[in-house]
Structure 1
Amino acid sequence: MKIKYFLFALFLSITLHSCVVLSTKKYKAMLSQRDSLFSRSANLEEELAKLQSDTARLHRELAGLKHDLADQQASYTTLKGNYDALNTNYGSASSKVNQLSSDLQKREQRLREVEEILRKRDEATNALKDKLQKALLGFQQNGLTVDIRNGKVYVSLTDKLLFPSGSIVIDERGKAALKQLAAVLNKEPDINMAVEGHTDDKKVINLGQIKDNWDLSVLRATSVTRYLTEVEKIDPHRLTATGKSEYQPIDPADNNDARTKNRRIEIVLSPKLDELYNLIKK
C-alpha cells in the first residue's frame, strides 16, 4: 500500500506541476500509465509480502536447523565418548583374553606334562609290583602280599613271617623274605620306602621294655629298617620307619583271624616324584 500511495503522489505531483492543458488522448494515456503503475505497485506489494513471509519461514527453519545441529553435535559428542570408552574396554578385554589364552596354553602344557609324569609313575609302579611278586613268590603263602594303593606299592608281611610271638627280633624266615625284597629295591634307586609297623587291638602284657602297642609297632618297624640298611645295604636316605599301633587295621572285626591280619609290617614303596613336584612349583 505504501508503494501505491507513493506512486499516486508522484503521479499527482507530475500532473499538477505541468501547466500544459492536456488533450483527451494524453489524459487517457496518463490514466492508463497510472493504472499500470498501480497494478505494478500491487504486484510489488504482494511480492514483498511473500518475500517477508519466506524470510520469516527461513529464519524459523534456520533456527530449527541450528537446534537440530546442536542436538546432533551433543549426540555425536556422547557417541564419541561411548566409542572411545568401548575402544578402551575392547583393548582391555582383548589384552585380558590374550593373557588368559596364553595362561591356558601354559596350563594345558603343564597338565600334559603332569599326565605324562603320572603315566610313567603308574607304569613304574606296575612294573615294580610285577618284579616284587615274582621275587617274593615263595613267601606269598606265608602271609606276604603285594598290591597297589593310591599309586604306591604295598608289601605287607604278617608278624608271623618276620618275628617270633611278642618279639622285635627278625627270625631267619623273615630275613630271607627281606633279602629277596632288598635284591629288587637295590636295583630301583628311584624308589622311596616307608616301613610301617601295625599291631592288633590286644594290649601288650609282660613284654619287658615294650610298654604298649605303640612301642611294639615302632620297634618292629625300626628292626626291619635297620636290617634293610645295615645288612642289605639299602641307602638309609630312602627309608623312613613309623609305628601305627592298632589304629590302621586291615580288618576291624573282633576275632582272631582279623587280629592276625592286622599284626603286620607294611613296606610302602613310592617312586620319587621330584620331577612332578618341580613342575607343580612352576
Structure 2
Amino acid sequence: MLEKSLLRYVGVALLGTSLLGSCTTTKKYNDLLAQKVNLEREKAECEATLAQTTLERSDLSKQVADLSEVRQRLAADTAQLGSAYRKTQSLYGELSNTYDKLIKNHDKLLANSALETSKLSKDLARREDEMKKLNETLTKNRSQLDQLSSDLQAREQRLNELERILAEKDKAVDALRNKVSNALLGFNSKDLSVDVRNGKVYVSLSEQLLFKSGSTKVDAKGQDALRKLASALKDQEDVNVLVEGHTDDVPISRGTQGMQDNWDLSVLRATEITRILANAGLPGTKITPSGRADNVPLDPAKTAEARQKNRRTEIILTPKLDELFKILEAN
C-alpha cells in the first residue's frame, strides 16, 4: 500500500512538471529535483521499512501459528482440566458428605464418650472405695494373722514343752514301774502285778496276799511286800500314792466288828495299808487311802473266780505334773 502511494505521488509530480515544463523556472525545477530526491530517499526508507515490516509480519505470522498451536494445546489441556475439575468437584462433594457424616459420628462418639467416661468415673470411684475397704480388711487380717502367727509360735513352744514333759513323765513312769517290779520280784504274779495305765503305775495286790477273808489286818507276807514297795518309793519325791481298797459284791457278815458294809471294809483295808507304808518310811503326805467297795470290779461276772479277782487292793503311783499344770494354766 505504501509503494502504490509513492508511485502515485511521483506520477503526479512528473505530470505537473511536463505541464509546467516550459513555464517553470529553474528554481522550481530545482525544488522539484529536491523533492524528487527526498521522495526517492523516503521511498528507500519506505522500502526498508516495508522489508522490515514484511520480516516482522513473517515473524508475527510464525508467532501467531505458534500461539495457535499453544492455544490448541491449552484448549485440550483446558478440556482435560475441566474433566478433572468436574471429577474433583464430584469427589469434593463426596468428601464433603463423608466429612459431614464423620462430624456427626464424631459428635455422637463424643457424647457417648462423655457418658461412658462418667460411668467409668463412677465405677472407678466405686472400685477405689472397694479397694480401700479391701486394703483396710487386708491390713486388719494381716494384723490378725501376725497375732495368730505369734500365738501359734507360742503354742508350738508350749506344745513342745508339753511333749518334752510328757516324754520325761513317760520315761519316769517306765523307770518307776521297773523299779517297783524289781523290788517285788519274789512274789507270785497271781497275787501281785505291776503295769502302766493312763500314765500311772498300778500295783495290784490280791486279797490272798494281804488279808484273810473279812479281815482288815495285813498278813506277814503282805506286810513284807508293802515294806519293799515303800523302800522303793522313798526316793520318789515327785510320786503321789493312792491306795484303793476293792471288795466283791457279797455283803459282809452280820455283826462284823466296826463295819456295816463293804464300804467300811474297803476303806479300813486301804487305811491299814497306808499305815504300813507310812511306818515303813513313806511320807504320809504322799499317801491317800480310799475305798471303792464293789463299784469298780475287774470282772462283773457272779462267779467265785470273778469275785476273787475283784477282791484286791490297788496302789496307784502318780508322778506329779506341776510343770505340766503350769503350762496348761498358761494356755
Q: Give the TM-score normalised by structure 1.
A: 0.77
Shifted more, 65-74 versus 258-267: the winner is 65-74
2:299–2:310: 8 Å Cα contact kept in structure 1? yes
1:77 Cα deviation from its structure 2 partner: 0.8
Q: Distance in 2 between matches of 1:53 and 1:203?
A: 117
1:96 Cα deviation from its structure 2 partner: 2.1
Find the residue that maps to 1:244 and give its secondary structure. Answer: strand
Shifted more, 163-172 versus 54-63: the winner is 54-63
Find the residue that maps to 1:196 and give its secondary structure. Answer: strand
Q: Distance in 2 between matches of 1:171 and 1:130?
A: 25
1:209 aligns to 2:243 (yes or no): no
Q: Residue type matched to 1:170 in 2?
A: V
Q: Distance in 2 between matches of 1:149 and 1:87?
A: 54
Q: Distance in 2 between matches of 1:102 and 1:193?
A: 40
Give the structure, 1 or 2, with the largest relative contact order (CA under 8 Å, sep 6 or more): 1
1:155–1:267: 8 Å Cα contact kept in structure 2? yes
Identify the residue that residue 179 of structure 1 maps to in structure 2: 227
Gaps of 5+ in 1: 1-42
Residue by residue over 1:248-281, the C-alpha shift from the partner in whole angstroms, topping out at 9 and shown as x without a partner, is 1122222222222211111000110111111111
Gaps of 5+ in 2: 1-88
Q: Which of the pair has more CA radius of gyration?
A: 2
Shifted more, 108-117 versus 185-194: the winner is 108-117
1:62 Cα deviation from its structure 2 partner: 3.9
Q: Distance in 2 between matches of 1:250 and 1:271?
A: 24
Q: Judging changes above 3 Å, is the alpha-carbon distance between structure 1 residues 237 and 58 closer, same or farther for their aligned structure 2 residues?
A: same
Identify the residue that residue 148 of structure 1 maps to in structure 2: 196
1:245 aligns to 2:293 (yes or no): yes
Identify the residue that residue 327 of structure 2 maps to in structure 1: 279
Identify the residue that residue 196 of structure 1 maps to in structure 2: 244
- Of 101, 104, 111 in structure 1, the residue corresponding to residue 159 of structure 2 is 111
- Of 72, 85, 90 in structure 1, the residue corresponding to residue 138 of structure 2 is 90
- Of 179, 188, 196 in structure 2, the residue corresponding to residue 131 of structure 1 is 179
1:200 Cα deviation from its structure 2 partner: 0.9
Shifted more, 116-125 versus 105-114: the winner is 105-114
Q: Give the TM-score normalised by structure 2.
A: 0.66
Find the residue that maps to 1:243 and give its secondary structure. Answer: strand
Q: Residue type matched to 2:275 in 1?
A: R
CA RMSD of aligned residues (A): 2.4
Q: Distance in 2 between matches of 1:57 and 1:124?
A: 93
Q: Percent identity at matched positions?
A: 43
